[in-house]
Structure 1
Amino acid sequence: MLQSLILLMLSPRLFTNPLHNCPELCLCYDSSNLVECRNQNLLSVPHHLPHSTWMLDLRYNNLSRLEPSSFHALWSLRILLLSDNRIELVSPRSFRSLGFLERLDLSNNLLSTLPLDFSRGLVSLRELKVPSNRLLALSYESLQHLESLEKLDVSRNFLVTVEQGAFRGLSRLRHLHLQYNFLNSIRGGYFFMLQNLEFLDLSNNNISSIAVESFTSLHSLRLLSLSENQLNHLKFKTFINLQTPSTHIQVSGNPWVCDCDLQRVFGKISSVRHLHIDDYYNLTCAGPPQLSGAALESVDNQLCVAETATVLVITITVLVTVIAAIVMAERNRKKSQDKNWNEVDGQFETQEK
């Protein structure tokens, strides 16, 4: 009897108190303050949710928009799961009452933009997931109030631009996922003030250029992924500015143009104690044509030798040309001088006669 009572107390159970007023099509678990409305073909957020709700699961429904009243008075909410819906619009002030929310999942929806006041009220949010949507840009106004955020995932979108300083209000951010977007360059100021950032994934974009000062403020960075982009060269200063205890860098899958300068850059990076190229032995050359497909590691020792030999040949050729020119000039000078002397001698002989 006692054992059965204990099991009953520990197991999840539906709310039986009418004050809880569990919405139709949802399950309300008293022991965990969980409200589960998953996979019910809901077109809108149910009304009259229990005020004590700690976790709200609305995944796999047909929600298309979030209204200002959608989560009204859910002051206790800590986790809100909205993934795998059809959400196209987040109305202004939709999250204004969620001051204690810590995790928000909007994965796999149809969002093309985040409203300017998206982050207003989300001062306790620690994890924001918005992957696999249709976002085209990120702005500072949309993210500025996320002062507690530690993880931001906006991967697998259509991001072409990130506003300068878009992340500057995220001083506690540790993980930033920007992979599988359409970014074509990294400008200075993108990651300004992210001194606690540990993980930065920029893989699978179209990045072809990186400003030298891009990573200057990332003093805690442990992993930087730049693989599968359009980089063909790097500047050593870009990475020497990473003043971290230890940073692992991934750069495979880029169309590297293998030359002596590239070899020098990777050689310098490998000589810096706190920088580590994890996939150096997987790098292949996209150019020049004679090295296409070759492993950089297998040809790097030949690159500067070949370049040095070429420079040496050119130098010798120029030197020989200069010497030949000097010799020819000297010969012409002597011939001209001899001719002048002969003419003078001829004049003297004529006068004597």
Structure 2
Amino acid sequence: MSSLKAYLIFLNIVLCFHVITSHTCHSFKNVTVLLHQKSGDPFNKTVNGCIERIEFNEKNVVTEAYIRNQSLPTLGRESVRNMVKLKTLVFWGCNIVNVESGAFRNLPRLKNLQISYGNLKEISRDVFHAAPTLELLRIHNNEIDIIADQALANLPGLKKIYAGNNMLEYWNREWFTNSTSLEIMDFQFNKIRTLPRRAFENLQNLKQIFFDYNEISNIHDNAFIGLKNLDYLGLRFNRLVSINENIFPSSLKIRSLLLDANYLNYLSNELLNKISVSELTLDGNPWKCPCLDRIHFWLHSSNGTLNKADSCTGSSIPDCAISKTYSTTCLETVDSDLTKKYIKSLRGLSKPLDKYCARTDYILIAV
């Protein structure tokens, strides 16, 4: 055998070994996976390595896979691969800290993906690209503080995302480039501070937006441009001192608008004339009494309904407060003294309010 031929054989062996080892997966070690077949019959499988078709009997067409309450700190490259019939994949309570790029490969029918109740800190850019048919994504109850640009992009079928109970401080419309079918967006219980301009411009199918329980103090002009009808807009338990009418497009219809427990003294006439609201909740804000009266009249005139909130309500909680500069008309200015007065009255209640009501731990320092 010539030295050249021997070298080529050796090189081929090395390359084959490299290909085999580069695709070896070690994400799972004695992990029990609950699987559902196409027939609907569930069975358990202990997996070492990857979740992939060749792990299962060929007659078992797996459509659902559930991994619950097991130690999986990392989903490495190709942890789940070549599951061409898989529609649902759930990781629940698995203490996942890291999902590497390429953790999922060749999942052409995956519709529902959940990675929740873990310690996930970051969503990388191409984690979900292997599942172009994704419709529902649950990444709530983690510690996510970074989502890479376009990490949730190019998912044309994505309709629902639940990302609440994380540590996000910023919201970026670039996350959702070309994912224009979104209908429900839930980012409650994060630390988001602001909503940027044109935040939802390319998400015109949105019906429900949940930003309750954040730190939002600023919503930029035209933030909601592109939207025409919303079933739900939740801005409860934030830090809004005022709402500029320019954040909304003209004639926006909102079925339920929730503004509870912010620091609002008034809503401007321009805002009230610009939007249509069927149901409104206002409790726990330091309203100027004439301004609150004007909101009541606006709702009555438009056949809207004022609903009571689930919290921050009660016979001992004041609905509004009177400014030092008394006026029978609504003065559209922020009144810090009135806000302090209102919050002081809440702090003096014999029955303490829950920690979210009007953010009483913050307002006396910040205002």
TM-score higher than 0.5 here?
yes
Note if contact 2:193-2:217 (Cα within 8 Å) is conserved in structure 1: yes
Alignment partner of 1:65 out of 98, 107, 124? 98
Give the corresponding residue for 1:249: 280
Greater CA radius of gyration, 1 or 2?
1
Aligned 1:80-159 pairs, distance under 5 A:
80-159=113-192
* Structure 1 segment 311-350 matched on structure 2, within 5 A: none
Q: Report % sequence identity.
A: 22
Q: Which has the higher strand share?
A: 2
1:342 is matched with which residue? Answer: none
**3-state secondary structure, aligned to 2:105:** coil
Q: Shift in Å at residue 49 of structure 1?
A: 5.7
Q: Distance in 1 between matches of 2:145 and 2:59?
A: 34
1:195-344 to 2 correspondence within 5 Å?
195-217=228-250, 219-243=252-276, 247-258=278-289, 260-263=290-293, 265-279=294-308, 284-285=318-319, 287-288=321-322, 304=328
- Residues 249 and 267 of structure 1: is their aligned pair in 2 closer, same or farther, counting only changes over 3 Å? closer
Contact (CA 8 Å) 1:22, 1:50: kept in 2 or not? no
Instruction: Show structure 1 runs of 5+ residues with no match.
Output: 1-8, 291-301, 306-353
| Residue number in structure 1 paired with 2:203 | 170
Q: Offset of 1:82 from its aligned partner?
A: 0.4
Q: Distance in 1 between matches of 2:194 and 2:40?
A: 50
Letter of the structure 2 residue corresponding to residue 170 of structure 1: L
Aligned pair in 2 of structure 1 residues 29, 157: CA closer, same or farther (>3 Å)?
A: farther
Give SS of 1:240's match: helix
Q: Which moved more, 1:101-110 or 1:214-223?
A: 214-223
State the alpha-carbon separation in 1 of the partners of residues 164 and 87 from structure 2. 24
Aligned equivalents of 1:74 and 1:103: distance in 2?
Answer: 14
Query: In the alignment, is residue 12 of structure 1 matched against residue 39 of structure 2?
Result: no
Q: Which residue in the other structure is 2:73 paired with? A: 43
Q: How high is the TM-score relative to the length of structure 1?
A: 0.70
Distance 1:188 1:80, change over 3 A: same
8 A Cα contact 1:193 1:217, kept in partner: no
SS in 2 for 1:247: strand
| Counterpart position of 2:110 | 77
- Paired letter, 2:63: N
Conserved? CA contact 1:10–1:31, under 8 Å:
no
Q: Is the 8 A contact 1:13 1:29 kept in 2?
A: no
- Specify whether residues 37 and 49 from structure 1 end up closer, same or farther in structure 2 by C-alpha distance, changes over 3 A only: farther
On the 8 A contact 1:95/1:121 being kept in 2, the answer is: no
TM-score, structure 2 normalization: 0.68
Q: Residue 226 of structure 2 contacts residue 249 of structure 2 at CA under 8 Å; is this kept in 1?
A: no
Preserved contact between residue 237 and residue 262 of structure 2 (Cα < 8 Å): yes
Displacement of 1:188 in angstroms is 2.7
Greater helix share, 1 or 2?
1
Q: Secondary structure at the match of 2:74?
A: coil
Contact 2:52 2:80 in 1 (8 A): no
Query: Which runs of no fewer than 5 residues in structure 2 stay unpaired?
Result: 1-38, 46-50, 330-367
Distance 2:319 2:59 in 1: 58
Report how far residue 99 of structure 1 moved.
1.0
